Amino acid sequence: MGTRLTFLVVLLTLSYTSCRNSEEKKNGSDAMAKDFNTVAINNEYQISIPRFMQGTTGLNEEASLQYQSLLKEAYLLVIDEPKAGFEEVYRDLNQYDDELSIMQNYRDARLRILSRTTEINRKTKPKSIKIHGLDAETMELDANIEGVANEISYFLTFVEGGDRVYMIMAWTLKDKKMEHEKTFKTIAESFELID
């Protein structure tokens, strides 16, 4: 009798594990919709944030959105500026390139600002994409920051809205890059203007 009961328990356990594994494969185990919350900022834009990240205020004073997970070493912010104000300032500084779009000028300006505080070791070429009908570019870079022993991997997305330009910046330690890459991509692709 004991042998039959043990066999039944093993059989039930195996079938439960098999069903659970096929369900995870069907849904895609990481970056599923149920793992994200949609957050609206200033009634202007919305973006999906992983449930494991919490809101913060200490990452960048310019940011309209800031989230982090100290446990998972994952950080996210969005910086946005009015197109007209940005263009005017950078034309005054003779740093506006008429050969580039306003979004590309914004990208280059943000990269210059980032390079003041980091030593960029590698960066990909910007890749043009559409996010909810908006022109956007994505790129990745690895950099060292003074005082931080490990190399940092950044995932940058630049989006051109109606009257504003946006930078979505997510980062983590380089050795956690593969772990967070899909999640960071999901965040950026969820960006949407609120009409």
Q: What pLDDT shows up at residue 31?
A: 47
For the chain, strand residue ranges (E) read 36-41, 45-50, 54-55, 65-69, 74-82, 118-123, 127-131, 134-145, 152-160, 164-173, 192-193
Of 19-23, 49-53, 84-88, 96-100, the poorest mean pLDDT is in 19-23
The letter for the amino acid at 158 is F
Q: Give pLDDT tens digits for 103-124.
A: 999 999 999 999 999 999 999 9
Q: What pLDDT shows up at residue 34?
A: 82
4 has pLDDT over 50? no
Which CATH architecture best describes the domain 31-193? 3-Layer(aba) Sandwich (3.40)
Mean pLDDT across 88-117: 95
Residue 53 · residue 76 · CB < 8 Å = yes
Mean pLDDT across 3-15: 40
Mean pLDDT across 133-146: 96
Residue 117 · residue 134 · CB < 8 Å = no
**Domain spans in the chain, listed from the N-terminal domain onward:** 1-29, 31-193
% pLDDT > 70, the chain = 83
Q: What pLDDT shows up at residue 147?
A: 87
% pLDDT > 90, the chain = 81
Mean pLDDT across 72-101: 96
Q: What pLDDT shows up at residue 10?
A: 39
Q: Give pLDDT tens digits for 32-80.
A: 568 999 999 999 999 999 999 999 999 999 999 999 999 999 999 999 9
